[in-house]
Structure 1
Amino acid sequence: MDWDDLRIFLAVAREESLSRAGRRLGMDASTVGRRVARLETALGRVLFAKTPQGYAVTPEGAALVPHAEAAEVAAQAAAEALTQGGLTGQLRIGAPDGCANYLMPQLAARLMDEHPGLEIQIVALPRVFNLSRREADMAIAVSRPQTGRAAIQKVADYRLHLAGHADYLDRHPPILGPADLRGHRMIGYIPEMIFDRELDYLSETGADHAALSSNSVSVQMQAIRAGAGLGIVHDFAIPFAPGVRRVLSDRIALTRSFWLLRPADDRRSARLNRLAEAVALGLRREVARLESLVDAQG
């Protein structure tokens, strides 16, 4: 049994689809299917059952998964040893879109400068990632999971404030206290699309609904930049939005946390442990850097 066949088997088991596995592996779906069939023939076992939803792992396939994952860890360790300690290979990180847009690009740039053999994929989705299906090697979350077997690490606290664009603020009466917010257009999340309770910011302003809403924090920020109204924004995003400034920063201030999640079994991988530490440290530093720029502006 060769490692390449096990690598393809793992991709199908995680993606539950030949086409998705093929995209992840950089090969066409028909080739993936042939390789899976070859492995099944070699083992004399049926590893997948084809269903209307995709390819489901059979009990025999499930028994093979931990052995394939152990081979994966060994292959990654061997590759790392040959690069004299440098981190190599692909790293897929899932993150909510605020983190993905305003923090991850700088972090990825620094990591790739430090480790030229590293390839980074950033998956920005406004929902919780399914690590058991290997949608990502690790994911950033905005609340600590209460269930599941993920390895959990707190990364950093971050701040949010009510903000508006100077053009919008100049066209409206001064906002000296929370009572002055009445009559202003508020911008926030679509209520039924809030995938984590920690994202329910609007109540902090005393508003009961948003005049303009989106499931994307980046869209919300662009609406604020366009002068559409006021909204709660991440302080670390403000340096990317010229003209946006905090409102009632001494009265309306929120603190949230980022958490780094990984499949529990990945703690056996020295490579992934090093990557997790690098990601956590990089995010912590980037949040602090960007928030300090906002503090300097007052």
Structure 2
Amino acid sequence: MDWEELHSNLPSLMTFLTVARLGRFTAAADSLGINHATVSRRINALEKITGQRLLLRSPAGWEITTEGRQVFEIAEEIEHSLAKLVSEQTDAAVTGTVRIGAPEAFTGHIAVPALAHMQDHHPGLDLELFTSTQRARRNRSGLDLEIVVGKPQVPRSWEHPLLQYHLKLYATPEYLKHHRTPARLADLKDHRLNYYVEAILLVQDLDAALAKLPHMRTGISSTNVYAHLTATLEGAGIGLLPDFMAEPHPGLVSVLETEFSYAATFWAVVRQESQRNPAVATVYQALQDYAEKLHSHREGPTVM
């Protein structure tokens, strides 16, 4: 076994660790925000380095071989070391200004509560939040940390999946009573949809979710997700909403949940020039910790 090459192949090790834990390539691909072929390629690369089979297929999914157990333990040690490094960076008080760009839903439901608590421990840290739902910019954006929907493609940056959630259909019971509850997806053509303005929707994953639905009449379209939520609560139509936003509202019920649910992922993007900034590391860790807390309290968003 080439130990030096094994330790240097971090993406493949972390992919193997995820497959070993989840038992399926597809689940690992969804968790990591990559495709099935990339998972397979990384596992094959590890097996080539070790000269051993690391995983075997079983009726329950992929299981670790005896040789794979040793590699699994190495991968866990590296994961723990990385987590400890980030923790040590964030334990000390940090100062400065961190500029964060994120979609409205992430900002309001995750970033603000997470960072408000974090700022109590780091009073010298100033935070600036810029809300927009768009792709990560390939050129320098002036932001230290960006949160985007879908895997970004940004040169010279660190990218990591942060939180998976689901876009689902919601409506009020009163709306459904007066407009008939759709029994199948085809019935949606008789309803209005509250969602983004389609002509200027630039985020591929959000556009892909819309493409999974039959054509619907326009309800209240907006560039702001909170407008979608309010329009749906006011009975303006059926809303295509993030589950973590809609489910806390007792006035909304899920529509056609067994037929439609679109998984999307928030990704964190840190530019090369910000990667060694302790303040940025502190902010990212606060967001990661809050995402884990959110996941532990409810089923829905999945921590990466």
Q: TM bucket by the smaller chain?
A: 0.5 to 0.7
CA–CA distance in structure 2, aligned partners of residues 167 and 127 of structure 1: 33
**What is the rounded CA distance, in whole Å, between the counterparts of 2:281 and 2:91 in structure 1?**
17
Could you say if the C-alpha distance between residues 287 and 168 of structure 1 is closer, same or farther in structure 2, counting changes exceeding 3 Å? farther
Q: CA deviation at 1:239?
A: 4.4
Structure 2: tracts of 5 or more residues without a match: 1-87
Asked if residue 224 in structure 1 is aligned to residue 227 in structure 2, the reply is: no
**What is the match of residue 194 of structure 1?**
201
**How much has 1:153 moved relative to structure 2?**
1.2
Of structures 1 and 2, the larger Rg is shown by 1
Counterpart position of 2:266 = 258
Query: In structure 1, what is the Cα distance between the partners aligned to 2:273 and 2:183?
Result: 52
1:207 is aligned to 215
Superposed CA deviations along residues 134-176 of structure 1, whole A, max 9, x for unmatched, are 4321010112222422211111211121111222122222333
Deviation at 1:240, TM superposition (A): 5.1
Deviations 1:260-292 (A, max 9, x none): 001113223344333322222323433554656
1:86-123, Cα deviation, whole Å (9 max, x unpaired): 23332221101221222222112221233333322221
Give TM-score, length-normalised by structure 2: 0.62
* Secondary structure class of the residue paired with 1:212: coil
User: Secondary structure in 2 aligned to 1:268?
Assistant: coil
Q: Secondary structure at the match of 1:112?
A: helix
Q: 1:84 to 1:125 in 2, by over 3 A?
A: closer
**For 1:128, which of 103, 119, 135 is the aligned residue?**
135
Shift in CA distance, 99/281, structure 1 to aligned 2, threshold 3 Å: same
Determine which of 144, 160, 181 is the counterpart of 2:188.
181
Alignment of 1:1-298 (within 5 A): 85-130=92-137, 132-200=139-207, 201-207=209-215, 210-239=218-247, 241-286=249-294, 289=297, 291=299
Query: Structure 2: how far apart are the matches of 1:226 and 1:164?
Result: 9
Counterpart-to-counterpart distance in 2, 1:89 and 1:212: 40
Q: In the aligned structure 2, how far is the partner of 1:88 from the partner of 1:249?
A: 45
Equivalent residues, number: 213
SS of equivalent to 1:120: strand
Structural RMSD (CA)? 2.8
User: 3-state DSSP class of the match of 2:130?
Assistant: strand
The 3-state SS of whatever aligns with 2:265 is strand
Q: Secondary structure at the match of 1:182?
A: helix
* In structure 2, C-alpha distance between the alignment counterparts of 1:221 and 1:140, rounded to whole Å: 21
Distance 1:238 1:291 in 2: 13
Cα-to-partner distance string for 1:174-221 (whole Å, 9 max, x where unaligned): 333223323111222211211211111222222255343112211111
Separation in 2, partners of 1:180, 1:258? 30
**Percent of aligned pairs with the same amino acid:** 26
Q: Which amino acid aligns with 1:220?
A: H
SS of equivalent residue, structure 1 residue 195 = coil
Query: 2:77 matched to which residue of 1?
Result: none
Q: Where does structure 1 lack aligned partners over 5 or more consecutive residues? A: 1-79, 294-298
Contact 1:95/1:124, CA 8 A, preserved across alignment: yes
Asked whether the 8 Å contact 1:155–1:280 carries over to 2, the reply is yes
Distance 1:273 1:102, change over 3 A: closer
Q: Is the 8 A contact 2:189 2:217 kept in 1?
A: no
